[in-house]
Structure 1
């Protein structure tokens, strides 16, 4: 009797399994059939084999060529075939949300490229790695050990010290020449912060006269980091026509190789020496008066080196640490520096906006102390200016691309497996169907009490820099979204607030308006760095 019951039980389980499998296969087949029936997004007619690569090469700026074609065809989604790769640009928030919210799992990977492979050490990092175990491992490390709230608080003093150095640097520049290179101040502040958090140092050489200014080593390091950002996904021809790898027809491969060599020149000696010290101290332990004590990490490099797996062995290899160190830096420096430079330039060109920001800082912080991180929740107008800079002047034309892991249908269009999906930062942030007067810099549109007819507003409680509805992109969203929004917000707001609070800013003599024309050839920044006159506006003792 028991045998019959057990047999019946197993037959029932088997039957349920078979039915479930058939239903699953039916759903998959329906999706495939639907995908085949759906048309592809509109796009130019591709050439055989090479696709639209000839048009891309003829254009001085491929990403602007793509957006110009979309604007001319009045479409919010398109398909450009480059070699055998389908590149899908998107400028509509609703469609963007369908990609990264409704079908996030399908687009959770990254495309392969020469630049991403080089800079990530062969895909050993969290941002650039394709979907897989390496990505899961490094994302967990970043979320739990590097960018957690407790780690953010632990690193507070290092950020505060660099915020003081920023004020000192601008003060010295204004005193010496009367004018300040705002881009240099913003870029070096962000890089100094992350260098301090990562390596516990702001200079690569010892015994430097610390007047707040970078030496040639730091300038070379910063230039190399921003070069990697510019060329990371810059439509390198050999990424779409792999048989051309090594010929370097567009010159990208040499630029990528040289930038990576420069970064490793500064990072490798520090990482190797630090790992040697930890190994010599018996996995982070040392003896003090015959008592075994643990070495306390002093920075993020110590944290990465000290991580252990379940067997007590190092969790990360030297190659993983080197690659992730670079990625943390480039992910940290670009957005805050770009937003602060553009925001300040717009505020100088519009003195009434600058006056409102100064009034808020004087009301919230006063003139007897410098603005601190704890003031950020109360600086809604400063954050509104930063949000508007993210919207109107994004750090890149497109977001980091997503790779489709299977055929699917989005917005009624067939998206083939292996497609590169590019959310257009400029297309989303300047979409006239979403934003009223999209080419104007109007921070008030991000405030709840805005009564000037803007189409979207934030929460009345507190303005935040994140934008989950993808009406513009400040920090990424979804499975491959930015997990460092707290750090990014902190750097952006403190940088902009310190500059506005500490100094009165004016256009240089003889200039009626600061040039805000974006570069046609680079993925971010204005044609020329913003240069403005700065005059201290606080008591002398507040300038370190």
Structure 2
């Protein structure tokens, strides 16, 4: 029997029956799509514009300029923003990398960290920050999550709370006060005589200031200045030198130092050698610090240690409110100790070195600072104490000016936007890295008159009431200790360390430049960072009676 195929008319009728609804559905879907696209275009046209962008390459954005053509990155960023005549911009990187939004305007910075503080509370990931923080278990470098909240609470309530820091508490006052006596011993090693000036001898103030800050923090954290046997003259030993060098290396490579910080999928390949540098620095820091922490944990758990004497004791003995078990793991204690060392050592030492260099070049300014110290403290009875700080207005103004003009790093620790946010009329896309420029904010000519001049008087109000002279700058016209929920938790400690160090250097010695420099300190910046290109070396001469100097033996 032959197959019963449908006739042509039947096929046409059936096709028409199927095609008509399909075409109607397709037409309806097309209309919906067109309406949706039109709405999206309309909505997009109503969005604020992105910040201005510098010329970039197809697909790879500004990666060549940032990483290869114009080292260091921060100088290229500031140069291109100057050419664009803008206080903020958006720097594009290849797909998979972030957009970068540098900020040079205090008003924009305040809007970010005040009005939109919650939206910029996150941190970027980087190879350096991941390694140094032990996988983001610390209070400064970690993302905005529960672990960060836990460690931030520990820092604010237990480590830098008014109950413990800075001066007049039992736990820290003696350590910070007596450390200066040890500092004198270190200066003696660096060729200062307390009772007479040795002709032809000089002091490297970078070494002196960095190791003073390192000594203070080691004493506060571990209850000791040395990792090995103390040196006979009080100066830094080989292990202390390695420790400080590793800390500054780690700080240098925390963020935006290698291509993998911009292209995370390259991490682990170490294509530019920066990852090895970070790993070696972290290894040195932890190899020196961790054995002390391990031994301290053992002592507390065995009952051998019963009195809290330093910050490691505080961290080890913290208990959970619920089950009274140790609040912090050994990894958290070790990583937080490393972060604390790094957080405090750099800002005070750099500010004091730059301040001394500027004051040596301008003897009239140094004379004003010394006169203030002599008037407040006197020259016959004692050295500067913490209780004098409220009256040392000009000394603090000198430090403020150093923070403004000579920041230790070009950018603040980056903030990451957790959502699309409108700032200063610009749309900052989610995931953008906001870089508040220490370098640009402090030198912004729209904010500061003659911004490249070192002028402490600009920080005095001219009325005789100088109570406003503080080292923190909450209006973000420059950055000393930042602000907001990710602001520096150790600002009070940093303020005290910086003021004490500068005041006593000025009180105890008269300083002069090296003769081969023709009486002038070279104030050139290093090419790839903001330290003095050449460490400050100067001649000191004791200016007080010998009995006022701490004994060094």
> With structure 2 as the length reference, what TM-score do the two structures score?
0.87
Match of 2:220 among 189, 194, 197: 197
Three-state SS of the structure 1 residue aligned to 2:446 is: coil
Match of 1:446 among 459, 470, 494: 459
Which whole-Å CA distance do the structure 1 matches of 2:465 and 2:446 have between them? 21
CA 1:85–1:541 in structure 2 vs 1: closer, same or farther (change >3 Å)? same
Structure 2 partner of 1:272: 294
Match of 1:167 among 175, 184, 189: 184
Structure 1 partner of 2:202: 179
The offset of 1:46, in angstroms, is 3.2
The answer to whether residue 52 in structure 2 is matched with residue 52 in structure 1 is no
CA contact (8 A) 1:377 1:462 kept: no
The answer to whether residue 521 in structure 2 is matched with residue 514 in structure 1 is yes
Match of 2:443 among 416, 427, 430: 430
The offset of 1:36, in angstroms, is 6.5
Structure 1 partner of 2:82: 71
Which whole-Å CA distance do the structure 2 matches of 1:248 and 1:531 have between them? 37
CA contact (8 A) 1:35 1:408 kept: no
The answer to whether residue 509 in structure 2 is matched with residue 503 in structure 1 is yes
CA contact (8 A) 2:315 2:328 kept: yes
Which whole-Å CA distance do the structure 1 matches of 2:487 and 2:500 have between them? 23
CA 1:102–1:462 in structure 2 vs 1: closer, same or farther (change >3 Å)? closer
Which whole-Å CA distance do the structure 2 matches of 1:51 and 1:235 have between them? 18
The offset of 1:247, in angstroms, is 2.8
The offset of 1:166, in angstroms, is 1.9
The answer to whether residue 178 in structure 2 is matched with residue 156 in structure 1 is no
Three-state SS of the structure 2 residue aligned to 1:254 is: helix
The offset of 1:196, in angstroms, is 0.2
Q: Following superposition of structure 1 onto structure 2, how do residues 50-449 of structure 1 map, counting pairs within 5 Å? A: 50-56=60-66, 57-83=68-94, 84-152=97-165, 153=169, 154-172=171-189, 173-175=191-193, 178-206=201-229, 208-281=230-303, 295-310=306-321, 311-367=323-379, 368-449=381-462
Deviation string for 1:132-179 (max 9, x for gaps)? 101100000000100011211231110111122223332452236621
Q: RMSD of the TM alignment (CA)?
A: 1.8
Alignment: residue pair count: 495
Which whole-Å CA distance do the structure 2 matches of 1:334 and 1:315 have between them? 29
CA contact (8 A) 1:228 1:256 kept: yes
Q: Identify unmatched segments of 5+ residues in structure 1.
A: 1-28, 287-293, 451-457
Q: Which moved more, 1:504-513 or 1:215-224?
A: 504-513
The offset of 1:89, in angstroms, is 0.1
The offset of 1:273, in angstroms, is 0.7
Structure 2 partner of 1:539: 545
Which whole-Å CA distance do the structure 1 matches of 2:311 and 2:162 have between them? 14
> With structure 1 as the length reference, what TM-score do the two structures score?
0.88
Q: Which moved more, 1:300-309 or 1:52-61?
A: 52-61
Larger radius of gyration: 2
CA contact (8 A) 1:167 1:498 kept: no
Which whole-Å CA distance do the structure 1 matches of 2:202 and 2:100 have between them? 44
CA contact (8 A) 2:257 2:274 kept: no
The answer to whether residue 84 in structure 2 is matched with residue 38 in structure 1 is no
CA 1:191–1:33 in structure 2 vs 1: closer, same or farther (change >3 Å)? farther
Three-state SS of the structure 2 residue aligned to 1:525 is: coil
Deviation string for 1:459-518 (max 9, x for gaps)? 632411011100000111011001211101000000101111010000111213111111
Which whole-Å CA distance do the structure 1 matches of 2:505 and 2:72 have between them? 33
CA contact (8 A) 1:50 1:241 kept: no
Which whole-Å CA distance do the structure 1 matches of 2:172 and 2:60 have between them? 49
Three-state SS of the structure 2 residue aligned to 1:364 is: helix
CA contact (8 A) 1:36 1:414 kept: no
CA contact (8 A) 2:111 2:423 kept: yes
Structure 1 partner of 2:23: none
Three-state SS of the structure 2 residue aligned to 1:534 is: strand
Which whole-Å CA distance do the structure 1 matches of 2:43 and 2:372 have between them? 58
Which whole-Å CA distance do the structure 1 matches of 2:45 and 2:433 have between them? 17
